[in-house]
Structure 1
Amino acid sequence: MTATLAGLLAGTDANSFAIGAPGRAWLTYGALRELAARVVEQLHSFGIGAGDRVAIVLPNGPEMATAFITIAQAAVTAPLNPSYRLEEYSFYLEDLKAKALVVMAGYEGPAVVAAESGGIPVLRVETRPDFLAGQFSLSGPSAQASSTAAPGPDDVALILHTSGTTSRPKIVPLLQRNLVASACNIGASLALTPADRCLNVMPLFHIHGLIAAVTSSLAAGASIWCAPGFDALKFFGWMKDAQPTWYTAVPTMHQAILSRAARNQDVIDAVPLRFIRSSSASLPAQVMLALVDAFKAPVIEAYGMTEATHQMASNPLPPRAQKPGSVGLAAGPKVRIAHEVENRLVDGTGEIVISGPNVTPGYEGNPDANAKSFFEAEGERWFRTGDQGALDDEGYLSLTGRLKEIINRGGEKISPLEVDGVLLDHPAIVQVVAFAMPHPKLGEEVAAAVVLREGHTATERDIRDFAASRMADFKVPRRVIILDEIPKGATGKLQRIGLAEKLGLAAQ
């Protein structure tokens, strides 16, 4: 198998199911390969070939999955969030130097307006009710045919931007071989086989869904049932229809699913999951244990980021232990701890660094960021993740938090994850995010936003007293904000950075 997406799909049984969706017949691997050949030919007729960048703005679902997999066999894919505004599309299309934009037939939203004002051709995904899940054809303006050379292992397959919470988003190019390495790493961690089926509820403009759900399943010859996004009210109906062996999600999604698990016990019993996977944010130990109890299945927490083509570490499958609060063992790349300032590896707590074939070659057009993020030590090239953590005696990795999110209270460093863990033990609290708020003398002070369980009550004083009985005084939140909902990012992750400002605490 060559280390390309085309090579990844080459040997799978043509009659095996690949892509499914609500109310649609299954797309087989044979049909997926035929679709890829047709899409590649159509792109060439539009003047698009290897190295050209194609922005994709499609709703979550089977067409987004197949568009990514097929377009990446001819060109560079750049999925964008369908919820962006005009200004954001204008920025990203220009920043990417997009050669074309792919949207659904009939879509005339801000992505098209941005593309047309930038002189970027718009290609339309056309589908019909009788098409198999994910089947489509492309229409667009014809152009001088491009080179028909297929992308190789060292060609860029996928471009994503970092979230850019504190600075201009950075461009992360991921090579064909990066995608293949990561898909195979995830498949090995989860022991995926053609008998497995993933119920995908993750957005497919994000590395988690693209690689952990879609590409790793295809690498194993398994199947993916593509939901049209995440909806806790529909999850168990989808589970009944899809008959999955697993699903992967972020912690906030797991919590929403848990809130409806008891009333859907019949579905849980009828569709036993082999495992549940969690990634993209730290899974509170309380949520992990509640999932195990509800689904009677192991919960595999993994640790990922865009620059690593998703997975870096993963809790192992039984019979090895899943440690609540740990993101598991190195699962693909080498994982070590580095000094947070000096370019050297250390023991104990420090910045988590990785090295391996799934790691991006570097940020595009950003030598300063590359100089800060990569260094050589012990014969390896290491990437700084920006996360603080430590490895235990068995090699399990625990995170303290993002280095930028560690709260510095007058020189005392406080892990927001530790504060989260304590407050989640309060019987009235269902969700919490601790964060730094400015303080005129200490620099930063601890604050926390919480959501209360339905039917429960608690005051700020109650919650602070509870925390004070379980942790040192300097770690106790000085402000507790009780909310109906905590602000989340586009992929469902709770946002710590900038939360003080959003909640009107920045000037205090």
Structure 2
Amino acid sequence: MTTSGAGLYAQVAELARSRPDATALVPGRRNGSGQSISYARLSAGCHAVAEALRAAGVRRGHKAVTMTRGPYELVAVAYGLLAIGAVPVLLEPGMPGARLRACLDDVAPEVFVGEPLAHMGLRALRWAPGHVRTPLVTRRALLPGLGRRLPVAVPDVGGPALEAPEPDPEDLAIIAFTSGSTGVPKGAEYRCGTLAGQVDALRPVLAPDPGGVLLSGFLPIALLGPALGLTTLCPAVNHLAPARTPPERVLRPLLAHRASVVAASPAVLGLLAGHCAHHGLTLPSVDRVLAFGAPLRARLADTLHSVLRPDAQVLSVYGATECLPVSAVTTRELHALRNDADMPHRGTCVGRVVPGVEVRVLEADATGVGEIAVAGRNVSPAYHARPQATADTKIAADCGLLHRTGDLGRLDDQGRLWFHGRTSQRVIGAACVLNTEDIETAADTAPGVRRSALVGVGPAGQQRAVLCAELDGTAHRGRDRRTARAALREVLDRHPQGHHIGSVLIHPRFPTDIRHNSKIDRERLAAWAAKRVRETT
């Protein structure tokens, strides 16, 4: 297999030559079934899309917004664009319209590739007005005049691979927008070298075996899986609301293709593990489970292990759009740390830094907690068309370009990285400064509590600390809510900073980010908490 420096498309093309009949991709259908696509057919499909893009006038350096939820369409279009030197632009389709328009204004794309519905939004909502010169529609449109049809059907047979030149590591390859769950969405630039660094950093985390089968619960991993030589299953996850996906859509392809690695958000893993536990099912083929997008909580980890083989590994992977991955930790190590009485109330361990990545902790306080900054080939060097954001977050250092993540953390004496929450989400009161993860890791141990969230009510410097809790599926009656609130108070009474918590509130279901349905939308939750606090005072 080629080295990752040869580019994603070149790797798939070589695999098509060396393993033409091996399954590269299995896009899932809503009933849980899927179509197996060989490396030969995937490479031929990418070749056909690249030639169609050229015929439509797409050229090297053109920025092409790619808005399609079909896994094969996404892979074929993205690889086809990369093969001709154009730049796929990936953003969240469920993003609010105003934010989406702002993102497109930043990019000023020459090309817009998407489903008919996306093109209708482009027209009706005037996204990127005056920029898009080449609209390309990936499926048959009900309305005429939306754009030129781009053929993205899976070819019946393989064909010659497109001869793509070796990319320059500094060439712009992809613009991937952050979800906006912790701030304004920004377009992280991936150079060709950045993509190569991501593939290299993911290898030890995924630990791919020859002939391994990866079930990908979110689309970015689906883009990298085929290039890693993995049969990549893409179940029909509801990417606008992953936590609402019927679990059978994920379970059926996993069992049918005997997935060895599962990579998904805690929300998708939760629905899969919960369904299996409820129905007495197990996942005997799975060797490794990777949780991306948010910390993996103890209750979900325990449920996952209950449906896996005793020797299967579950890892929580830490990273961000700008630097993925950074570190990883097994749940067995987390379990040992939870039982270590000498290390209470210290945030969440996110493990040891992956090879090729370096972490620095900036402006640390007396406890060693400061802002996490990351350097490595997998780190995005800039935000597209956002020079001030780039200047605020990128620092030249002896280890290379450091990216300031906005996350609080520390490194312990064994080289493990600990996450303490977002810098912007600290609760700053008149007599205290509270890091969210320090409180929540303790509160999550209270009986009946599914997860907790610390928010501040009022202006910074005078904030009132409010702990919100979401209960598990069995605890929603009034008596259960009172019992859970009392249990939370007991936990807080034992916590050295628990006396700073002014209120404990029970929330029916936390608002979450649109990408993973796992990160808590603390801004919305704080607004809800402020209203509840006013009503009770």
Tell me the TM-score normalised to structure 1 length. 0.84
Percent identity of the aligned residues?
A: 19
SS at match of 2:494: coil
Shift of 1:304: 0.9
> What residue is the counterpart of 2:21 in the other structure?
15
- Is 1:56 equivalent to 2:80 in the alignment? no
Q: Aligned to 1:37, which of 24, 38, 47? A: 47
Shift of 1:18: 0.5
Q: Aligned to 1:199, which of 215, 222, 233? A: 215
Structure 2, unmatched stretches of 5+, are: 141-150, 155-163, 339-347
Shift of 1:158: 1.3
Moved more, 252-261 or 412-421: 252-261
Indicate if the aligned counterparts of 2:190 and 2:381 stay in contact, CA closer than 8 A. Answer: yes
> What residue is the counterpart of 1:421 in the other structure?
441
Shift of 1:287: 2.6
Change (3 A) 1:40 1:373: same
Change (3 A) 1:17 1:45: same
User: Which residues in structure 2 correspond to 1:24-423 (within 5 Å)?
Assistant: 24-74=34-84, 75-104=86-115, 109-113=120-124, 114=126, 118=130, 120=132, 121-126=134-139, 136-137=152-153, 151-164=167-180, 168-202=184-218, 204=219, 210=220, 212-215=221-224, 217-229=225-237, 230=242, 231-234=245-248, 235-266=250-281, 268-269=282-283, 271-296=284-309, 297-308=312-323, 310-315=324-329, 325-340=348-363, 348-423=368-443
Indicate if the aligned counterparts of 2:512 and 2:521 stay in contact, CA closer than 8 A. Answer: no
Indicate if the aligned counterparts of 1:59 and 1:228 stay in contact, CA closer than 8 A. Answer: no
Indicate if the aligned counterparts of 1:450 and 1:480 stay in contact, CA closer than 8 A. Answer: yes
Moved more, 157-166 or 395-404: 157-166
Between Structure 1 and Structure 2, which shows a larger proportion of helix residues? 2
Tell me the TM-score normalised to structure 2 length. 0.80
- Is 1:481 equivalent to 2:505 in the alignment? yes
Shift of 1:503: 0.8
**C-alpha separation between the residues in 1 aligned to 2:46 and 2:440?**
45
Change (3 A) 1:303 1:213: farther
Q: Aligned to 1:494, which of 514, 519, 522? A: 519
Shift of 1:347: 9.5
Shift of 1:177: 1.8
SS at match of 2:57: coil
- Is 1:433 equivalent to 2:453 in the alignment? yes
Deviations 1:159-209 (A, max 9, x none): 12234456543321111221122122111223212321122222x3xxxxx
Change (3 A) 1:438 1:317: closer
Change (3 A) 1:252 1:276: same
Change (3 A) 1:347 1:368: farther
1:453 is aligned with what amino acid? D
2:318 is aligned with what amino acid? Y
SS at match of 1:303: strand
Change (3 A) 1:58 1:191: same
Shift of 1:107: 6.1
Indicate if the aligned counterparts of 2:110 and 2:131 stay in contact, CA closer than 8 A. Answer: no
SS at match of 1:469: helix
Shift of 1:95: 1.9
Shift of 1:82: 2.5
**C-alpha separation between the residues in 2 aligned to 1:272 and 1:248?**
14
Indicate if the aligned counterparts of 1:299 and 1:322 stay in contact, CA closer than 8 A. Answer: no
Indicate if the aligned counterparts of 1:464 and 1:476 stay in contact, CA closer than 8 A. Answer: no
Structure 1, unmatched stretches of 5+, are: 128-134, 139-147, 205-209
Change (3 A) 1:116 1:370: closer
**C-alpha separation between the residues in 1 aligned to 2:359 and 2:118?**
46
**C-alpha separation between the residues in 2 aligned to 1:116 and 1:369?**
21
Shift of 1:317: 10
**C-alpha separation between the residues in 2 aligned to 1:180 and 1:333?**
12
- Is 1:469 equivalent to 2:493 in the alignment? yes
2:291 is aligned with what amino acid? S
Indicate if the aligned counterparts of 1:162 and 1:171 stay in contact, CA closer than 8 A. Answer: yes
2:299 is aligned with what amino acid? Q
Moved more, 279-288 or 221-230: 279-288
SS at match of 2:409: strand
2:360 is aligned with what amino acid? I
SS at match of 1:253: helix
Change (3 A) 1:461 1:495: closer
Deviations 1:270-293 (A, max 9, x none): x43101101221222333233223
SS at match of 2:122: helix
